[in-house]
Amino acid sequence: MTDRKRVFSGIQPTGNIHLGNYMGALRNWVKLQDEYDAIYCVVDLHAITVPYDPSELAQSRLATAKALLAIGVDPSRSLLYYQSQVPQHAELAWLLGVDTPLGALNRMTQFKEKSEKAGQKLGLYAYPVLMAADILVHRAHAVPVGNDQTQHLELARDIAVRFNGKFGETFPVPEQITPRVGARVMSLQDPTAKMSKSDPDDSSRILVFDEPDTIVKKLKRAVTDSGSEVAYDPVNKPGISNLLEILSLFTDRSIDDLVNEHNAMQYGRFKQLVADAVVEGLTRIRTNYKTLEDGEVGRLMTKGALDARMRAEEQMVEVRRLVGLGSGTIS
Ligand code: AMP
Ligand code: TRP
């Protein structure tokens, strides 16, 4: 094990990876591998907190793992695995849950939103505690996520602080890492709502694996704002501002620069420009995906889980001892 700081993050294996996931989180996952001891997880236990089809889970989990590899998660530098194959996550979630006040869980806006559709279930309610356990079981220092996870991460920090206060310094209090541009990518059809996997309207999001002509079509149809100026103003011009963020990320140029250059450009041409940049940026990922072989990725995920179990178990031995359950090893 290295002395480097650890970074942990997770993604649910439901639906396809979209531009919000990529810009808000996954690009950082890839970048941070150089600097941190990186641990990434396909969070299948989180995915089953809303209605799902069990016969599809194995396939969507594999597809998500492959997408992460195609985007640039590099198993020679990062640990990558399926959450359910490392039982220490669920065990720590229980130990943390026994001391998590209901008041904190009642404030979670994602619970309120999701339970409207999925019903008020314990799994959905306890979701943020499992997320805290994911992070803390690896004693992660930092967590790259989009802005929609800020509230969950604050709860994870509170849980870490509470545990440390009660049992002594055990967990680092994890910091959130969000990108400067793209922390909240908006829907192409309603730029006041975030781009999301669960939006029934396919044209609201660009998938990382969309074909070039689909990307062009979706961007051409993107809802823009009244007026005709390409300007950055997320409140009054949310549509164009969202497109500017996308262009900035894919061209690696500042929003100011782009506004200066394209200020007078017609919306139609501007959208084409954004589409060209996105198509070019995503081509490498699409090509990588095709080279990945299911069996090989499956083996890689098994190896990842075995390594992650060993690392998580080291931490759990300490946690069990602290809470009075011994080491957990029966002799
Ligand atoms: P999920 O698909 O909900 O598991 O999210 C995976 C990661 O993508 C998390 O870090 C989210 O914060 C991030 N994410 C999801 N949607 C967006 C969005 N529209 N903009 C920015 N980041 C997002
Ligand atoms: N809740 C996160 C999401 O929906 C996924 C997630 C689960 C996660 N556990 C995590 C993210 C731990 C960061 C760290 O996007």
Q: How far is the CA of 322 from the centre of ligand 1 (A)?
A: 34
pLDDT at position 331 is 66
Is residue 191 in some structural domain? no
Is residue 100 in some structural domain? yes
> Do 158 and 36 fall within a single domain?
yes
Which whole number is the average pLDDT over 239-253? 97
> Do 126 and 261 fall within a single domain?
no
- Looking at all shown ligands, the one closest to residue 46's CA atom is 2
Is the Cβ–Cβ distance between 187 and 196 less than 8 Å? yes
CA 258 to each of CA 103, 187, 236, 246, 262: distance values in angstroms, whole numbers, following the listed order: 45, 21, 18, 11, 6
Q: In this structure, are strands 37-42 and 142-144 parallel, antiparallel, or unpaired?
A: unpaired
pLDDT at position 327 is 79
Is residue 187 in some structural domain? no
Between CA 151 and CA 38 the distance in angstroms is: 22
Which whole number is the average pLDDT over 89-96? 98
Domain tally, the chain:
2
pLDDT, tens only, 192-223: 999 998 899 999 999 999 999 999 999 999 99
Is residue 192 in some structural domain? no
pLDDT at position 254 is 96
CATH number of the domain at 317, please: 3.40.50.620
In which order are the strands placed within the sheet that holds 6-11?
Answer: 78-82, 37-42, 6-11, 142-144, 175-177
> Do 279 and 300 fall within a single domain?
no
Between CA 140 and CA 308 the distance in angstroms is: 13
Is residue 330 in some structural domain? no
Between CA 273 and CA 275 the distance in angstroms is: 5
Active site residue 194: yes
Q: Is 43 in the pocket of ligand 2 (CB under 6 A)?
A: yes
> Do 239 and 132 fall within a single domain?
no
Is residue 132 in some structural domain? yes
Choosing from 194, 218, 237, 271, which is the catalytic residue?
194
> Do 137 and 216 fall within a single domain?
no
pLDDT at 227 over 90: no
Is residue 197 in some structural domain? no
Q: Residue 157 in 3-state DSSP?
A: helix
What percentage of the chain exceeds 70 in pLDDT? 99
> Do 283 and 314 fall within a single domain?
no
Is residue 194 in some structural domain? no
> Do 23 and 141 fall within a single domain?
yes
> Do 161 and 217 fall within a single domain?
no
pLDDT, tens only, 113-154: 999 999 999 999 999 999 999 999 999 999 999 999 999 999
Choosing from 114, 218, 237, 271, which is the catalytic residue?
114
CATH number of the domain at 245, please: 1.10.240.10
Between CA 318 and CA 315 the distance in angstroms is: 5
Pocket test for ligand 2, best of 9, 17, 108 (most atoms within 8 A of CB): 9
> Do 133 and 159 fall within a single domain?
yes
Confidence of residue 14 (pLDDT cuts 50, 70, 90): confident
> Do 120 and 36 fall within a single domain?
yes
Q: Is 78 in the pocket of ligand 2 (CB under 6 A)?
A: no
pTM assigned to the model: 0.96
> Do 130 and 21 fall within a single domain?
yes
pLDDT at 15 over 90: no
> Do 282 and 297 fall within a single domain?
no
Instruction: Please name which of 267, 276, 205 lies closest in space to residue 241, comparing C-alpha atoms.
Output: 267
| Domain range enclosing 270 | 202-289
pLDDT at 1 over 60: no
